[in-house]
Structures are given as C-alpha cells and as structure tokens.
Amino acid sequence: MATQTFPGIYDNLAKIALFVRQAAEQAGLEPFDIYSVETAVDEACSNIIEHSYKGEGKGDIECTTQVSSEGLTIILRDNGRPFNPKKIPKPRLNVPIEERANHGLGLYFMFQLMDEVHFDFSTGTGNTLTMVKRKEKNSA
C-alpha cells in the first residue's frame, strides 16, 4: 500500500496519474486497464477540484493505492463538500451531443471503466472514493 497527498490543483493531475500508473503496472494490469484506471482517477480528481473544493488550491487530495493478487484498489480522500452520486442524472447518450448536459459524463466514465466504484462521506474523515480494477482472469 502506498499513499501520497497532492495539493488539489489541475497541474497535479499528471503527477497523480503517474502515481496510479505505477501501481497499476505493479498490479499486473493490461495496458487498456492501466489507461482505464488513469482516466477514472483523472475524472475523479478533476471532480474533487471543481465540485468538492469549488476551485484549485482549496484542499488536498490523498491518493492511496493497494496492489493485490486480484488487481488494484485506489482510494481518494478529500475534505471538500460532500457528494451524493445518486443526485447526478445519468447522461443522455442517445441524444445529439449539442443537446447533452455539460457535466455528468466523468462520473459515467468512472463507473464504466472501473469494476467497482464506492462513495462515502463521513463527518470528520471527509469524502472517500474507492475504485477497484480487477485483473482479467486470463492474465493472472
């Protein structure tokens, strides 16, 4: 298990991506799965900065990676505003792009790219997002 804390600014997204990429490689994930992890984490961290903190430089993002024989678990923690993913409407993918909402696709991608996505908010510990990417059965 490894943990790093990053100031919540967009310039740190590349550093966070490198941190999770190294863990994904250590977990033995396939290249597309590594890309999926990076993309999901990037979306999550962008959402933390934009929605939880309401802007850059207002708080930190703690990123923990847990490598196991089954794959990789990523835990993101922040102390921003609580977030209820059930209140975000599902994106309307069946309409022309001009008619789609500007927001909501990041959350959709996180659920599509990862095997598990769990949100938790607890007074005192802040927001916790746990995402799991399992290795493909034939690559173990």
Give the pLDDT of residue 135: 94
The single residue listed with the structure tokens 């022309």 is: 96
Calculate mean pLDDT across residues 10-31.
98
Is residue 139 predicted with pLDDT exceeding 50?
no
Compute the average pLDDT of residues 9-20: 98
What is the structure's pLDDT at 3? 98
Domains and CATH numbers, the chain: 2-139 (3.30.565.10)
**pLDDT by residue (tens digit) across 62-117?**
999 999 999 999 999 999 998 777 776 675 666 665 655 555 677 888 999 999 99
pTM of the model: 0.88
Q: Would you say residue 34 has pLDDT above 80?
A: yes
> What local confidence, expressed as pLDDT, does residue 87 receive?
73
